[in-house]
Amino acid sequence: MKNTKNSKVNICVVGAGYVGLVSGACLAELGHRVVCVDNDPSKIKLLRKGVMPIYEEGLEQVVKKNVKAGRLSFANSVKEGMHYGGHRAEAIFIAVGTPPREDGSADLSAIEKVSEDVAKNMTGYTVIVEKSTVPVATCDWIEKTVKRHNKHHLPFDVASNPEFLREGTAVGDFLKPDRIVAGVSSKEAEALMRRIYKPIKNSPIVFTSVKSAELIKHASNSFLSTKISFINAVANVCEKTGANVEDVARGMGLDKRIGASFLKAGIGFGGFCFPKDLEAFYWLSAQVGYNFELLKTVKDINEGQKMWLLKKIEEELWNIQGKTISLLGLAFKPETDDMRFAPSLDIIRELLKRGAKVRAYDPISQENARKRIKGIYFAKDAYDCAKDADCVCLITEWKEFGKLDQKKLLSIVKHQIMVDGRNLYDPAKMRELGWTYKSVGRP
């Protein structure tokens, strides 16, 4: 049954969320035959109707094109997905969620469940590719689980293939990655991973041990979080000294050893990756006997940064009680509808605690936000959001907020106070227009 000559691989992707659906669609785009599986029947129903369950630029076109070409299908169970249309899956990609537990560790129960399902439905040599972000040694557990439930002792390998796509640019990131990381423990698994990714030209594949690959993902996300917290800490020093964090970041970033990316000061990072991966890496390090104190500090700086916004509002309004605060943007970053661990959630909680009346508007994540946030007014657009505001706060730097008619906004608000948590606007221009304007680390 092993088919190493054919370049097309039969793939089953388990978990059709931000990572699984994008990976599945893009693997089909590379020419493979892919089945995406999810245990949420409503998602599969939508996908079969051609409706995307998430907002991701360009995803719908890739999905529709590959469904039409017969390379992409959807299934409700691992059993169905592994033998869809009579084709046996040679590779199973696990892309289910790994949410944080109370203590900061990753909840890996969905990974265990999928491993068990895969073991029970294998009918030949299978490579189980771990794509979710997991702590080092998770693949050892997958291997043990599969062995335990693999009654016919069929051959298999477990590989680690962490995903580095970013929400908002996920399709492009998957098809043109900076690098592909593959942790393998056999020649067969390496050969299959090479076949799968062969159509992606100009991106190096880094083959490592399985454990190194697992660690690369946690180390990468923790390093990027560190860069963000570092520049946010620098922004705080800038504010106290009159320096400009954008100039400082530009001067730093031109040094090739530092690099310009991830040196943008703001109200902190959020989303389903950085906060939980940072936390999980700290937790894992402690488990293996290393106190990775730096990561704790990175987290503390980030938590503090979210509250920067409240400090700025109070500096202008004194008491927040009874005041109307308008929030432009809710998603943790632009071009996504993902509200998981968005800084806006903490900010709104604090504002409500202090008795503010909160109005908010987000171009895309509004519906997801409604499910998570109660007690605020969801506005129709940015202008409706700014109506009678004592203070307008920019939370997410959506492109449309860069093009707002500032004169119109100024005429709608009660007090012309703007706190820009993403340094979207030019301070001089905003002040010239009449705003009392505050931004992060800029005079």
Which spans of this chain sit near ligand NAD (rule: CB under 6 A)?
A: 14-20, 37-40, 43, 95-98, 110, 113-114, 132-133, 163, 165, 167, 272-273
**How many angstroms separate the Cα of 88 from the Cα of each of 8, 34, 150, 187?**
12, 11, 16, 21
Find the shortest distance in angstroms from Cβ 111 to ligand NAD. 9
**Choosing from 139, 238, 273, 385, which is the catalytic residue?**
273
Nearer to ligand NAD, 110 or 137 (CB): 110
Residue the block writes with tokens 């998603």: 331
Find the shortest distance in angstroms from Cβ 306 to ligand NAD. 20
Residue with the shortest CB distance to ligand NAD: 17
Nearer to ligand NAD, 150 or 336 (CB): 336
Q: Mark whether 385 is an active-site residue.
A: no
Find the shortest distance in angstroms from Cβ 399 to ligand NAD. 20
Find the shortest distance in angstroms from Cβ 377 to ligand NAD. 28
Nearer to ligand NAD, 176 or 429 (CB): 176
Q: 247 CB contacts (<8 Å, ≥6 apart)?
A: none
Nearer to ligand NAD, 43 or 312 (CB): 43
**How many angstroms separate the Cα of 11 from the Cα of each of 73, 103, 143, 197?**
11, 35, 19, 12
Instruction: State how far the Cα of 339 lies from the Cα of 275, in Å rounded to an integer.
Output: 13
Nearer to ligand NAD, 115 or 423 (CB): 115
Find the shortest distance in angstroms from Cβ 347 to ligand NAD. 21
Output the CA angle 97-60-37, nearest 5 degrees. 40
Find the shortest distance in angstroms from Cβ 341 to ligand NAD. 11
Nearer to ligand NAD, 159 or 409 (CB): 159
Nearer to ligand NAD, 248 or 345 (CB): 345
Find the shortest distance in angstroms from Cβ 40 to ligand NAD. 4
> Which residues belong to the active site?
273
